[in-house]
Amino acid sequence: MSIYISPSIMCCQFEDYSDYISSFENKRVKNIHFDVMDGHYVKNIMLGTNTYKELKSKTNLPIDLHFMCNNPEDFIEYFSPQNGDWVCFHPETTNHPHRLLQKIKSLGCRAGYAINPGTPLSYIEEVLDELDYILIMAVNPGFAGQTMVDSHLDKLKRIKEMVNSADRNIDLVIDGNTTIENAKKMVNAGATGLVVGTSSLLKSVEVFNEEYENYLEAISNLKESQ
Ligand code: DX5
Ligand code: ZN
């Protein structure tokens, strides 16, 4: 399976969005990762509906909305994600995670859970039939530029086993500190997608353009080469 890249738009300067987007389109990235932070579930506050609408007006690439919010059902209703977008939330932030997954799918979106280093995997076990993807946090959510929590690799392996034994096709995407060296470990542990941010390809548009192919090459076919 080829590994895909999901650039995190929170790491891009607003005034450079057009340049970044044409670069993402040229490189045929799978989607654009979009962090929504409410200042409660996480301390940071960022990326609102105007930015989402701006992106939707600039590109047909799917947006991967990552809700780091308490009561994500309210935020999801307010954002009104569009058909083909990806939408994930942290299951411990809502009273009705199963219902919310179904709601997201009813909008024509791919539905996912975001799992922190400290989130128990039993949340996933209960809804395997509903999940299209799982966003596994390599860092605690809220900020770019953090160092990965090593235990997420073991967590990823355990998630992979659960998904395989249920015979489900669920994307396993890692978010946070996906440097090229860390990314190799993540892919070897079972990642199928990687959110890239300040620690790797999104240092600037130029770095993204120059390093993208190297990065993909370094993380692709790792398993075959071992
Ligand atoms: C949090 C964010 C961050 C960030 C990733 O959900 O998605 O993880 O953009 O970028 P770096 O590379 O700074 O960890
Ligand atoms: Zn994110």
**pLDDT, tens digit, for every residue of 161-203?**
999 999 999 999 999 999 999 999 999 999 999 999 999 999 9
**225 vs 76, more confident:** 76
Q: How confident is the model at residue 220 (pLDDT cuts 50, 70, 90)?
A: confident
User: Which residues are near ligand 2, the ion (C-beta closer than 5 Å)?
Assistant: 35, 66, 175
Model confidence at 221: pLDDT above 80: no
Model confidence at 225: pLDDT above 70: no
Contacts of 205 (CB under 8 A, 6+ apart): 16, 19, 20, 23
pLDDT given for residue 192 in this prediction: 96
Model confidence at 94: pLDDT above 60: yes
Give how far Cα 102 sits from Cα of 120, 149, 170, Å: 21, 31, 16
**pLDDT, tens digit, for every residue of 7-60?**
999 999 999 999 999 999 999 899 999 999 999 999 999 999 999 999 999 999
Q: How confident is the model at residue 92 (pLDDT cuts 50, 70, 90)?
A: very high
106 DSSP β-pair partners: none
State both tokens at 118: 């400290």
Model confidence at 152: pLDDT above 90: yes
State both tokens at 129: 């039939």
Please compute the mean of the pLDDT values over residues 101-120 and round it to a whole number.
98
Q: Which is the CATH superfamily of the domain at 4-225?
A: Aldolase class I (3.20.20.70)
Residue with tokens 């353009």: 209
Give how far Cα 177 sits from Cα of 77, 85, 181, Å: 30, 24, 10
pLDDT given for residue 226 in this prediction: 47
Rounded to the nearest angstrom, the distance between the alpha carbon of 193 and the centre of ligand 1 is 14
Residue whose C-alpha is closest to residue 4's, from 86, 78, 79 = 86
Catalytic positions: 35, 175
Q: What are the boundaries of each domain within the chain?
A: 4-225
pLDDT given for residue 28 in this prediction: 87
Ligand 1 contacts (CB < 6 A) are 8, 10-11, 33, 35, 66, 139, 141, 144-146, 175-178, 195, 197-200
pTM over 0.85: yes
pLDDT averaged over every residue in the chain = 95
Give how far Cα 82 sits from Cα of 52, 57, 180, 205, Å: 10, 12, 32, 26
State percent of the chain over pLDDT 70: 98
Q: How confident is the model at residue 101 (pLDDT cuts 50, 70, 90)?
A: very high
- Cα separation, 223 vs 212, whole angstroms: 20
**226 vs 212, more confident:** 212
H, E, C per residue of the chain:
CCCEEEEEHHHCCHHHHHHHHHHHHHCCCCCEEEEEEECCCCCCEECCHHHHHHHHHHCCCCEEEEEECCCHHHHHHHHCCCCCCEEEECHHHCCCHHHHHHHHHHCCCEEEEEECCCCCCHHHHCCCCCCCEEEEECCCCCCCCCCCCCCHHHHHHHHHHHHHHCCCCCEEEEECCCCHHHHHHHHHCCCCEEEECCCCHHHCHHHHHHHHHHHHHHHCCCCCCC
Please compute the mean of the pLDDT values over residues 53-69 and round it to a whole number.
97
Q: How confident is the model at residue 222 (pLDDT cuts 50, 70, 90)?
A: confident
Rounded to the nearest angstrom, the distance between the alpha carbon of 226 and the centre of ligand 2 is 30
Question: What is the end-to-end Cα distance of the chain in Å, rounded?
Answer: 16
